[in-house]
Structure 1
Amino acid sequence: MFSKLMRTLSDPFRRSIRNKLIFTMIILSVIPIVAVTALAAENNRKSMETEVISTNLSNMKWTGIYLGEQFSQLNNLVYTVLISPHLNDYLMSIEGSRLYNQFAAQKNIMDTLNNLFYSAGNHVIGVELFLKEPSKLFTISSNQNDLESSTGIPSPYKELFEENKDFIIQSKSGDDGEFQLIRSINRFENREKLGGISLKIRWSMLDQTLNLIGRGEEHKVLIAGDDGSVLYQPFGEKPSQEIMDQIKQTTEVQGYFRLPGEYVFYNTIDPVGLKLVTIIPTSFINKSAQSTMHFGLIVGAISIVISILIAILLAWRTATPIVTLARSMQGLGIIKETEQLPQSNRVDEIGLLETKLYNMSYRIREHIKTEYSMNLEKKTAELKALQAQINPHFLQNTLQMIGSMLFTKKPAESYEIIRSLSDMFRYVIRDPNDLASLKAEIEHLNNYMLIQSQRFSSKLSYTTDMDESAMACSIPKLTLQPIVENAFFHGLENKPGSWELSVSIICEAAAVRIRIRDNGVGIREDKLADLKRRLNHQNGQVWTHGNRIGIQNVASRIRMHFGSAYGIAIESAPREGTTVTVTIPNESGGEHHDKSIDRG
């Protein structure tokens, strides 16, 4: 049932090239618009995300500075008591044994604390001063003004003494409305803790500053302690324990991290060390980008409709001549009945044209095969030769060697190898011409040998003997380096002991001979005879095989450019090495390039 339905739906497209073209053009026009619209929406969301992150990091920074200034002001209030001469007089009266009137000193302390309380503002709701000796607790608030003897150390000061802290901030459990800022009183000479001063402060004094980063009910703004606990949160639901644990583990002064569905920003408040935290849901960013996304979708929908109309119009106009031609050829019978027809699965106008024109195309193909294909084959061979690549195994070994050199060699030595490899790539792909100067070819070979000398420095000896007068001669690109590469692969790699390789250039009256000698394992007589036979009976093919450019390829290209008088000769004996002689004309090469084309 399903297959029958699919055939019914696809049949109009199978039988009409016009319907196929309309459907294809609609798809080709709609998909880019949909993709661009989706990409634009995503880019808009990302830009909004970047803006929100940047804005919140900046807001957190400045809000942290303002909060730090507020806490510094509270610290200054505490310091007014610490530097008060009345406190020093009271401590001296205790230690001096009747040197001062203790009652007068206590009264002065009470007056000092009252002055601090009434000058601090409405947000400070209480002031305490505890002295370990003689265990006195001064308490000042709106409804209390007491001095009492304490039988033990009160809990907030006990933590101060036991943990040897100079400063703590406590928020009473179950009471988010206030906190205590407690600072120790230390003896100047040995930092012994004599007591502590505590301010009871309403958290609401920070609300105006915290509103700088609060943007609505979806945001969560809070102040956390160094133990990961929530000290104050003016609004919103409590954050998850996962968030608080991650905030506790952060070591950076300021930053943010992302959790599924939330962005968490944090900043350390100096000088108290508390963490200012803002939590923003991911939905906030998506909502901010929704208006732009809606506008993009509307524009995209309009563009899709217009594209569909244009696609239908163009497809109709393009396919109409094909349909007309197919109908006009339905009555033609130019194919003989005895001739085997091609098997075509198409039933539309194209299939009809394919069937009717088969006989004509068959004869054309026969003609192409005898005339045009021969020229095409030769040109394709030339292009194939130009597509020679640097051996991937050589490239892999070179990159591994460079990696090792970065840790063991000087930077200049590593750079020299990288530069040589870069020059090799540039030589292979930069110049589209198949001919190059002998100088450029030698430089390419020297770059290759520099890398090989670095790889096999312990056993490779490389020497050159160059005739500078021959450097302007032309030579097919990638002639010498493949020969030397073959010398390594077939001759030297299997030879124990030291390796020797030399390149010499001899300039004669009409030719330039380049000899490449190695002391490798040599070539067996039967293989050498077969290789010479193939080099002396070239058929014009210059194909490459595998990852290396064969020596037969090099010989073919030399003959293709300069004629049969030039090419490659090989002399070798087992265990005595191999000598390859490349012969090219002693000219600039331009004329020979033209002549080779005429010969073809």
Structure 2
Amino acid sequence: MQSIKRKLVITLLIVMMVPLITFLILSTNIAKGTVESSEISSNISMVDLSSRYIEYQLQEYDQLLFSSLVDEMLVPSLTKPDNISTANVFNTQTYIQDKLFYLYNSRASIQAASLVSIETGNIYRIENNDFFVDSYSHLLKNTESKDVIFNIDEKSNSFSYERNIFRFEDQKLIGKIKIDVHFSLFDPILKDLQNNDEEHVLLLNSSGRILYAPYPDSVKLLSNSVIKDSLGKTVVSQDDGIYYFQKNLSQNIILLKAVPAEVMNVGAAHIRQSGTIILIISVFLTVILSFYVSNRVTKPVIELSKAMENVSEDNFNVKINTNGSDEIGILNRKYKEMIGRIRDLIEKDYKREIEKKDAQFLALQAQINPHFLYNTLQVIGGMAIIKNAKEINDVTQKLSHMFRYITKRQHGLVYMYEEVNHLKNYLHIQQVRFHDKVSIHLFVDEEVKDGLIPLLAIQPLIENCFIHGFESKIDHCMIKIDIQKVFDEIEIIIEDNGVGISESHLSQIQKNLSSKQFIQSGSIGLHNVNNRLKLYFGQEYGINIYSKKYMYTKIIMRLPYQTKGVGV
């Protein structure tokens, strides 16, 4: 049955785990690809959105610079006045200083603001909250441009916005206005774009050189050759990671986000780890479920097999579960019904055998004329008295009482005190027979005298002591008989110090006594008494025998304490 259980468990595990493992592997791989694709798509969107915001910031600074040109006092302040007086120079310088301070303080990231007057040859500049006026002798560039001029200063990590100032009447270039902005302006955007410490976000120039990085270590980690080779593309996937580019911001700045391969694999590793955990849990649950299902299926079969083995050993009191409604449950019920019918047939066979024994016993009684035998024993007793042979008279009287007890009873159960009186007559005769060689100790509990016992249940057991126990024993022989009430049962113990029984013979006797089969025997001895006790009172009652070779033999008889029954 265990092999059936193993086969069922293995089959269930294969059927349940192979599709499960296949599904988990496929789903893990699909999820890994989906996560990578989603990660790439998300980063592309984030880089594009960040680049738009940077472009917006740049346009805002351009608008700030442009708005400073719409001032009617700006052009006159840059033109050489006709009347150069101290007051005019002071007023002009004060106006320019206020205007530059306004630009300088309008944004925290503006490092410097400057204004160049071509006619006067002066440059007015505010830097570190200090106002400077110097002569300007540099060669002007982009003098014809009316758009904003964008320049990058890589040494100071800054960029500048510059616009030419033209006089409206003749469109003559009279000056330039400029603001210098540090790249830290974009720190909030770049840091938001960087999801973790392993990712790197940089600003590049159009040739691929690194302009600015929020974290200086990022510059050391990235390869310039990789960056240069990847320019002109939006997404570049390489062995060391994935690069996302948003190029030509204001035609001069490129936004780069570099995601190392180990960061990209975090999501896949998490999915793989989650899939492994799910697989382990699923396998664990599958094993438990397989054992549970196999136990539910095979347990009734195993129990039925064990019950069959017990029945084959003549034990018909096995417990069989009949609660199931499936085919196994139906089989259990039918098998239990079959055992019941077999048990009934065996009990009927017991009764037939007992009736046969009783018939033989009654036939034996019928062969002897009770009255003739009893009268003859009385005559012998009278003759013994005349001859002054008291012992002969006692033995004759005891024997006559025994025959009267045996012959007048036609039913199976008698009172204990009657059986004990008969036993005393028998023991008296045996003591006369063996003289002082045998010691007999009889104890009878007063509470058991009204109890019922099968006729001639004790004498055959004591007779075995004389026949088998003392037949070759030379030393002094002893028999102890103890009859007492134990709770609601009567316990009769008969023990002798005879030659005992060998282990093999004792084992066979015990096996026969525990068997429910009727043991064919030509006497009303040990097996007959045991079978009669079980027939009258049930299978839980009967005889147990214990012995040790050359030391002792003990017989224990158990029967219920009853005061009413058949035969009384």
How high is the TM-score relative to the length of structure 1?
0.40
Select the structure of larger CA radius of gyration: 2
How high is the TM-score relative to the length of structure 2?
0.42
Higher relative contact order structure (alpha carbons within 8 Å, sequence separation ≥ 6): 1
